[in-house]
Structure 1
Amino acid sequence: MQKIFDTHFHIIDPKFPLEENQGFVPEYYTAKDYLKELKEMSIEVIGGAIVSGSFQGYHQAYFAEAISELGNQFVGITQLPFDIVDEDIFKFNNIGIKGIRFNLYRGLSASPREIRELSERVYRLCGWKTELYVNLQTLDKELEELIFTLPKVSIDHLGMHKCPIDRLKRMVNANIPIRLTGFGRVGYERDEIRELIRILYAENSRCLMFGSDLPSTRAKYRFSSNDIDLIKETVSREAQDRIFFQNGEDWYINK
């Protein structure tokens, strides 16, 4: 069994509302479906981060049930409107939500000012992390510089599309984790992903955090044990342990 701390996956429960995004509505994928699929791949999940997708908008109701079913080593990462009141942030924190996500890639827009103010507010109130789903290839200078000033920020899906390697190196050397997820959706070929893993891990051994990205909505191909094998074939056993579970657990649970 391969042990993982899954830093990025979605639960899509039919009991809770969905919103069409760019013409897309996903199929349902419950906590039971998630655990069953991992078990079939001989993966032992010891914790993780349940992430709101674009198709879940600003709905949080599903988190309490999902976290209750999966266990207290799991946290929620949600999307929030800019006018959210502090009382609601505290309420969400109490059910296990521990981070905010800005989904700039799928059109849930937020200005740099809103990103800064909301990230700083949730961190000040509850110590929440910030996650950015953004295309690093087309990142403008204002947003790039903002990233380095945000409290406890990380980047989804290897930044999606190819960008200058120095941009990624600068981020990991500033202790901004890069999420090693979504191989079937990123703009890198598998051999290029291997090379990125080697380069970024050499820069900062704590910077890469594994995630399954299940159920791989809108990806070219679904997460499978082949993605686990790619990492295992690329780095040492010590590095595997860091990437597969230690770094993610340190980021979300051990703090």
Structure 2
Amino acid sequence: MQKIFDAHFHIIDPKFPLVENQGFVPDYFTVDDYLQELKEMSIEVTGGAVVSGSFQGYHQEYFAEAISELGNNFVGITQLPFDTTDEGILKLNDDGIRAIRFNLYRGLSASPKQIKELSERVYKLCNWKTELYLNLQTIDSELEELIFTLPKVSIDHLGMHKCSIDQLKKIVHADIPIRLTGFGRVGYERDEIRELITTLYSENPSCLIFGSDLPSTRARYRFSNNDIQLIKETVGREAQDRIFFQNGENWYLNK
């Protein structure tokens, strides 16, 4: 049985509202669905991060129930409107939220100034991390520079589309984790993902954080044991332990 800290997955509960995004509304995927799917793949989940998707907009209601059902060592990653009060942020922190997500890839617009201000505010208030969902291939120089100024920031889904390996090395050299998630949605073929894992891990063993990306909404193919196997065939046991659970636990559970 493979042990993981699942640093990126979605819970889509029919009891809570959804928001159409770019013409898309996902199927439901409850906590029970999530745990059952991992059980069927013989995966032991020790903790993880419930991530707010574009289709959940700024709705927060589902987090408290999902995190409570999942149990200890699970946290939430949310999207916030910029006028959220400090009191609102502290309440979400009490519910188990530990990071803020800026979903630039799916059209939730934000200027670099807005991102910086809100990221710094939630970090100062609650030590929250920042997650950026963007396309590293197409970001401009202002946004690229911003990445290196944010407190405790990480990059989602390998940066989505192919970019310079030097750009990725620069990111991990700055101790900015890259989330090893969404193999079925990124712009890399599987052999290219293997090469990235090998190269980036050798540059910074703490930089790769694994997540299932379940239920793989809008991906070309769904997460499966084949993705687990790809990592296990690429790196040795020590690296596997760091990628599958140690790096994620250190990032989200240790302030």
TM-score range with shorter-chain normalisation? over 0.9
Matched, 1:76 2:76: yes
1:81-133: CA deviation from partner (whole Å, max 9, x where unpaired): 01111000000000100100000000000000000000000000000000000
Report the equivalent of 2:52: 52
Which residue identity lines up with residue 33 of structure 1 in the other structure? D
2:215 is aligned with 1:215: yes
Instruction: Measure, in 1, the Cα distance between the counterparts of 2:184 and 2:174.
Output: 27
**1 CA distance for matches of 2:50 and 2:68?**
12
Name the CA distance, whole Å, in 1 between partners of 2:79 and 2:72.
Answer: 21
* 1:151 match: 151
Q: In structure 2, what residue type is equivalent to 1:188? A: Y
Is 2:131 the counterpart of 1:134? no
Amino acid at match of 1:82: F
Distance 2:95 2:102 in 1: 20
Partner of 1:239: 239
User: AA paired with 2:176?
Assistant: I
Per-residue CA deviations over 1:160-212 (Å, capped at 9, x if unaligned) read 00000000000000000000000000000000000000000000000000000
CA drift of 1:39 comes to: 0.3
Shift of 1:72: 2.0
Paired residue for 2:161?
A: 161
CA–CA distance in structure 2, aligned partners of residues 129 and 136 of structure 1 = 19
TM-score (norm 2): 1.00
Match of 1:64, SS? Answer: helix
SS for the counterpart of 1:108 is coil
Between the aligned partners of 2:181 and 2:138, the Cα distance in structure 1 is 19
Gaps of 5+ in 1: none
Question: 1:26-37 residue pairs with structure 2 within 5 A?
Answer: 26-37=26-37
Q: Partner of 2:137: helix, strand, or coil?
A: helix
TM alignment of 1:107-122, pairs within 5 A: 107-122=107-122
Percent identity between the two aligned chains: 82
Unaligned stretches of 5+ residues in structure 2: none
Q: Which amino acid aligns with 2:167?
A: R
Match of 1:172 in 2: 172
Letter aligned with residue 44 of structure 1: E
User: Which residue in the other structure is 1:182 paired with?
Assistant: 182
Distance 1:53 1:115 in 2: 17
| Partner Cα distance (1:186, 1:99) in 2 | 22
Task: Name 2:102's counterpart in structure 1.
Answer: 102
Tell me the residue number matched to 1:250. Answer: 250
Aligned AA for 1:184? G
Cα distance in 2 for residues equivalent to 1:182 and 1:95: 26
| Alpha-carbon distance in 1 for matches of 2:140, 2:50 | 28
Q: Give the Cα–Cα distance (whole angstroms) in 2 for the partners of residues 142 and 158 of structure 1.
A: 20
Count of matched residue pairs? 255
Instruction: Note the C-alpha offset of 1:139.
Output: 1.1
RMSD value over aligned CA atoms? Answer: 0.4
**Structure 2 letter corresponding to 1:192:** E
Which secondary structure state, in structure 2, belongs to the residue aligned with residue 137 of structure 1? coil
